[in-house]
Structure 1
Amino acid sequence: MAQSRPILIVEDDAALRATLAEQLTSEGEFLAEEAESAAEAEAKLGDGSARFDAILLDVGLPDGDGRDLCAKLRREGKNMPVIMLTGANGESDVVHGLDSGANDYIAKPVSVPELLARVRAQLRTYDESVDAVFSIGPYVFRPSAKLVHEPGRNRKIRLTSKETGILKFLFRAGGQTTPREQLLHEVWGYNSGVTTHTLETHIYRLRQKIEPDPNTPALLVTTKGGYKLNVTAA
């Protein structure tokens, strides 16, 4: 199973906030962090050790307008998906929310299945964007920059295009084994001149870069028939 995606819920209604957190985390697909005000949300987002893949943001917060907070986050360069939650769903309200930088807009009362579907849709789009960031073991992986960053040691590791492609595809496989031929096809495309030896060479070089002990891989694991990524390895 893929690593749970961290979501920040910014909502002053404690009962709704708890319900959303419970529903989001029920299947292990997401991790939920809660904030009841704009100030608390900003504090959590400003924590250098925290990362959120998406934000559920109420418009009516006790210390401000959620749309103003969204606009401020965009100005600060925070580009994760933001889905606004509001009791007002008039056209002007929706336009105001989207103009502030929100990716989507859902009126209350919230349909949890619809909300989950929209969160997943926004994350799929985000994962293909230049802003996408993934957690793999102790690393933060930025595919668009071809970079793996290890915050604990403040170490940056540059990757080649093929190494980036391998990591990205294995991450999307959600911990499932990817056959060698499939990985070759996905990363190199159809090319009869490319063999599994080419893939094995790139896997070897990638392990030299990211594995604490390349001789005993913990992250990029060889399995029967292929490879898988263990994103929760320490």
Structure 2
Amino acid sequence: MAGLHPILVVDDDPKLTETLSEQLEMNGEFEVHGVGSANEAKTIIFDPDNHFDAIILDVMLPDGNGCELCAYLRKENCRTPIILLTGSDDEDDVVRGLDAGGNDYISKPFRIAELLARLRAQMRIYENSEDAVFNIGPYAFRPSSKLLQENNTNKRIRLTEKEAAILKFLYRSGTRSVPRQVLLNEVWGYNSAVTTHTLETHIYRLRQKIELDPANVSLLITDAGGYRLSSIIDK
């Protein structure tokens, strides 16, 4: 299910994981992976072939404490947003979870709409942070550095500020087509002096940098009225 935001749920309650998967995947925005223990979480998170845009982590796990796992992940330089789940809303527990490196904390039972709102908020914060790294095709994309790095060769591609902004907004849109005017407004603001020709010129230059064969594009696709990132994107 390429183009979706991959989310890892760490919880030993299979019914809860199943419910979260159904609800989070309902609108075609997220792809949920579930594991039931701290050890499984460590294995899947540190597998170099995996990437997650956020982690939903239960505090009570069969082989450890979620707060301790969170602290361990931060110690190992995992910067992925982490939302902690717990059956307790005791202030000390909340403080313990946040001190361990959790980005947010939500008590069971919770409303799925609230979890979704908090999840999206944390992802937006991360996307604008210095730590943000996104996988796009064969590249690791670091928006704050305006840099693409080819995963296999470590070749670096420098982007202009506008190129990085275009790529970042298209990434956030998944594989949905973004109309030219929307992309123009997002990157340049509501500036009447900037036309779609300006956008098309930047798209052309960006393709020269990122496409293996700019004459036969495979990453940055033109749709009727707009642009999108290809479904072959490695999330």
Structure 1 residues 187 and 37, CA gap change in structure 2 (3 angstroms): same
Report the alpha carbon displacement of residue 197 of structure 1 after superposing the two structures with TM. 4.8
SS in 1 for 2:205: helix
Q: Which residue of structure 1 lines up, in the alignment, with residue 164 of structure 2?
A: 164
Structure 2 SS opposite 1:83: strand
Check conservation: 2:177, 2:223, Cα contact below 8 A: no
- In structure 2, what residue type is equivalent to 1:230? L
What code does the residue aligned with 2:32 have? A
Q: Is the 8 A contact 2:221 2:230 kept in 1?
A: no
* Alpha-carbon offset, residue 193 of structure 1: 6.4
Contact 2:184 2:199 in 1 (8 A): yes
Amino acid at match of 1:61: L
Question: TM-score, normalized by length of structure 2?
Answer: 0.86
Please name the residue that 1:129 is paired with: 129
**Aligned equivalent of 1:27:** 27
- Amino acid in structure 2 at the alignment position of 1:232: S
State how many pairs are aligned.
232
The residue number in structure 2 matching 1:69 is 69
Counterpart-to-counterpart distance in 2, 1:228 and 1:108: 40
- The 1:13–1:186 alpha-carbon spacing in structure 2 relative to 1, beyond 3 Å, is closer
Q: Percent identity?
A: 57
2:209 — aligned with what? 209
Per-residue CA distance 1:51-100 (angstroms, 9 max, x = gap):
11111111111121110111111122211111111111111111111111
User: What displacement does 1:25 show?
Assistant: 2.1
1:54-93 aligned at under 5 Å gives the runs 54-93=54-93
User: Is the CA contact 1:137–1:233 (under 8 Å) kept in the aligned structure 2?
Assistant: yes
What residue in structure 1 maps to residue 51 of structure 2?
51
Work out whether residues 166 and 187 of structure 1, in 8 Å CA contact, stay in contact via their aligned partners in 2: yes
Partner of 1:176: 177
Amino acid at match of 1:176: S
Aligned equivalents of 1:155 and 1:33: distance in 2? 31
What's the counterpart of residue 97 of structure 1? 97
Residue aligning to 2:228: 229
Q: What's the CA shift for 1:139?
A: 2.8
Instruction: Verify the 8 A CA contact 2:170 2:229 in the aligned structure 1.
Output: no
Q: TM-score, normalised by structure 1?
A: 0.86
Q: Does 1:218 align with 2:222?
A: no
- Specify the alignment match of 2:119 in structure 1: 119
Distance 1:30 1:173, change over 3 A: closer
Task: Tell me which amino acid in the other structure corresponds to 1:177.
Answer: V
User: Following the alignment from structure 2 to structure 1, what is the Cα–Cα distance between the partners of residues 100 and 92?
Assistant: 12
CA separation in 2, counterparts of 1:173 and 1:57? 25
List gaps (5 residues or longer) in structure 1: none
* RMSD (Å), alpha carbons: 2.5
Letter in 1 for 2:177: Q
TM-fit CA distance, 1:154 = 4.2
Deviates more, 1:123-132 or 1:47-56: 123-132
Deviates more, 1:211-220 or 1:169-178: 169-178
What is the correspondence of 1:175-194 to structure 2 with a 5 Å cutoff? 175-179=176-180, 183-189=183-189
Residues 135 and 231 of structure 1 are in contact (CA less than 8 Å); yes or no, is this contact kept in structure 2? no
Aligned residue identity for 1:22: E
Separation of aligned partners in 2, 1:112 and 1:194: 41
Q: Gaps (5+ residues) in structure 2?
A: none
The AA in structure 2 aligned to 1:114 is E
Residue type of the alignment partner of 1:70: C
Whether the aligned pair in 1 keeps the contact of 2:5 and 2:52 (CA below 8 Å) is yes
Comparing 207-216 and 44-53, the one that deviates more: 207-216
| 1:7 alignment partner, SS class | strand
Q: Which amino acid aligns with 2:6?
A: P
